[in-house]
Amino acid sequence: MPIADDTLYSFKYVNGHPKNTREGLPTVMAFGVLADVATGAPLLLSELTLTTALRTAAMSAVAAQVLARPDSRVMALIGNGAQAEFQALAFQHLLGIGELRLFDTDPAATDKLMANLRGSGLTLTRCGSTAEAVRGADIVTTVTADKTNATILTPAMVEPGMHINAVGGDCPGKTELHPDVLRGARVFVEYEPQTRIEGDIQRLPADFPVTELWQVLTGQAPGRMDTAEVTVFDSVGFALEDYAALRFVHAQAQRLGLGETLDLIPELDDPKNLFGLLQPRAAALRRAV
């Protein structure tokens, strides 16, 4: 996921492997680089697994601030894995969500989530199905991991005025919403060309209308238009979010004196003589032989 302006360049290496947990590895693993455009010199090499969870939750909350009803207090959280706590806390602190209705096909995931959120002040309700969890919810967040064209949410489950925060559909062949859920809602995306390929709208015609979120945030397009409207944020995550996150991490690391220097680029007495860096080592090897 590369991106640059005329000052800084960044990329994120990220992958998702739902079966990884069987091997004791996280489903999502990521790291990122921030570099100086003028020289190409790397400025920061950082983990982005944890940071991705934070920025994903932050974007969900930013979208919900303009798309969800202002009086939203109950959120259904479908999929209680690694991203779930971040989503829950972002919506609690930035939107005033007070109750979470939880469902996961793996009961242990819900156990983990409830243990981690104990003492958060949130009311936690375990549910036996998606349909039970979304009943009466103001906001529905779907954040499942299986790489299939799944149907987590169907039209019969959608109630007037709901905001749907669809996070789990984020690569080709991986979706969460029945297409008719999208057809019955106003759909908002981060970057339309990418979401057409990776988001839930990949299952709909190329001319299906969507609005990029930046247009709402800058006042160029309306967000929620009335209390009965159903809105969907078809979130896939895109490079600009990681660029912003890496810039923030770099700035805070400098401010707090965190991190360590890595010799990723060779230091040369003569920057035009790269081969000369090898000569002392070659001579030492010959002597050793």
Q: Give the catalytic positions in this structure.
A: 170
Phi-psi group of 258: left, alpha or beta (phi > 0 → left; psi -120 to 50 → alpha; rest → beta): beta
What b/e sequence results for 212-244 when a residue is b if at least 16 CB atoms lie within 10 Å of its CB, and e otherwise?
Answer: ebeebeeeeeebbeeeebbbbbbbbbbbebbbe
Tokens of 38: 């003028």
Instruction: List Cβ neighbours of 224 (8 Å cut-off, separation of 6 or more).
Output: 66, 67, 68, 69, 163, 231
Three-state DSSP at 68 gives coil
Q: How far apart are CA 144 and CA 141, in angstroms?
A: 10
The angle at the Cα of 181, spanning 177 to 185, to the nearest 5 degrees, equals 125
Cα distances (Å, whole numbers) of residue 190 to 59, 167, 194, 217, 232: 9, 12, 8, 11, 12
How deeply is 145 buried, as exposed, middle or buried, from its count of CB atoms within 10 A (0-12, 13-18, 19+)? buried
